[in-house]
Chains A and B, each alone.
Chain A
Amino acid sequence: MGFADHLASGEFVKIVEIQPPKGVDLTKFLGHAEAIRGRVNAILVPELETSIMRLSSLAASKVLSEKGFEAIHHTPCGHKNRIALQSELLGAAVLGLETVWVTRGDPPNIGDHPEAKEVFDLDENDLLSAIKRLQEGYDLSGNDLKGTPSFTVGASFSAGVTGHVLDLELLEIEKKIRLGVDFFITTPVFDLNQFARVMEKVRPFKVPVFVSVMILKSVGMARYINKHIDGVMVPDDIIQRMMKEPDKQKASIDITASLIKGFERLCEGVCIVPIGWEDRVPQVLDACGY
């Protein structure tokens, strides 16, 4: 059962993000994947997230695929031009990686090679156009392809926005759907009520939405998010719950699980973002009863 089948099935989809290694030792990476084998629908492999140089999503996704996992290959726009992006997508198709997730990507100056030249030749809508055209049998310059790839295409949207910014985000969502998006993975959400209000406006588009659930490790992390991460807000009640619980790890897993269970009635699935706590994901799944 491929990812497209999961989309069509109507079941609550579980995705887990696993960072590829910085290096070529896949032991931990594969260990994290094995620990959740059969319990989730797909593993999302981020590409150069926050512009930290790591093993490519393409290679790591292929390794997962060979081991029988459903992998979501990530193609951000920041570090490759339109020639390289299209070439990589053709590569993904011949490697059997037919689920791709498109994002805008991060600038190099926030990562571990801040002196690198940034690319951003295409934005994510341009890249979605390119994917659409590749699937129609020609490239962005209108040249014919020998053999046409087929993809299940995901994009992202900012779920933490409100007011007129949400209206702009809805316009973006509509554009992306016109460009062939099959599913969305949101930015991390900690506030069920706020997300419920967002989903009231997004649900009429009838495109599956998978909400990102970040595993909150500490009160300090929550405060850092609230201070530094635009569009993500950890509500006070979650911070209080974390503060009161003597066993912080248990609190972390319980909070994540209760969020996920809450999201079950609001959208079509979740994407668990462990942020270094990949080894706790099985406990989160246990706590959710998955």
Chain B
Amino acid sequence: MIIAEQKPIEEILEMLAPHKKILLAGCGACVTVCQAGGEKEVGVLASQIRVARQEAGNPIEIIETTLTRQCEPEFMDEAKDLMNDVEAVLSIACGIGVQLMAQTFYDKPAYPGLNTSFLGFPEEHGVFTERCAACGNCVLHLTGGICPIARCSKSLLNGPCGGSQDGKCEISKDVDCAWQLIYDRLKALGKLENLAEIIPPKKWITSRDGGPRKIVREDLRI
């Protein structure tokens, strides 16, 4: 899922400074699960903003809502009536949700309340780690189900490098060496011969390097 975290409150207050009445919109999908932008976070953040603005002598009215999902146009209708009454929307969805809000309600500013961080999962309660770089050319079948693009700090396809020490990456003792993990998993699977292969240079054109991406599925088009 998409992992995000809330922007510093000071940054949010600065964005909202010109406004007296806004919609604060959460999202019921990924950011609810990672507890950055769900219904509960909408309530907490709305209170924080109200208090800060009250203390600054510049009160703000905030309408609270949480859409089923902000990443699909059909759910934008849930915010349609509410948007009529406000000057702007503070979206605490991922960047996709903020952009869909901006696109749908074109004449009103949409501000991001979160920083969209990465694609990953909660490793333990309160700890989220990256697992996928959405590079568009999956190699997990070669690397024991562990992604070297997202998890190796150099995105090496032929690792490990000399920076691998005691299973950790040279960038930080808190970061596992992806290629140590790949080695361990391939060993467990009896597939260590995979490491004898030289993986050729990656085709980054399927990643962001080929420009903004788009998939057209003719079989799904109406």
Contacts and interface: CB of A to CB of B under 8 A. Distances in A.
Interface of A: 107-109, 114-118
Contacts of A117: 202, 204, 207, 209
A237 to B, nearest CB: 36
Contacts of B211: 107, 109
A76 to B, nearest CB: 16
B205 interface: yes
Interface centre among A108, A117, A118 (most CB of B within 10 A): A117
Contacts of B208: 118
A208 B12 CA distance: 44
Contact of A109 (B201, B202, B209): B209
B203 interface: yes
Contacts of B205: 108-109, 114-115
Interface in B170-222: 201-205, 207-211
A109 B204 CA distance: 9
Nearest to A119: B209
Contacts of B201: 115
Contacts of A118: 204, 208-209
A115 B205 CA distance: 5
Contacts of A107: 209, 211
The 5 closest A-B CB pairs, nearest first, are A115-B203, A117-B204, A118-B209, A115-B205, A109-B210
A107 B210 CA distance: 8
Nearest to A117: B204
Nearest to B135: A117
B199 to A, nearest CB: 13
Nearest to B209: A118
Nearest to A107: B211
Nearest to A109: B210
Nearest to B208: A118
A53 to B, nearest CB: 13
B153 to A, nearest CB: 15
A108 B202 CA distance: 14
Nearest to B155: A117
A114 B203 CA distance: 8
A250 B203 CA distance: 45
A118 B208 CA distance: 9
Nearest to A115: B203
25 contacts: A107-B209, A107-B211, A108-B204, A108-B205, A108-B209, A109-B205, A109-B209, A109-B210, A109-B211, A114-B205, A114-B210, A115-B201, A115-B202, A115-B203, A115-B204, A115-B205, A116-B204, A116-B209, A117-B202, A117-B204, A117-B207, A117-B209, A118-B204, A118-B208, A118-B209
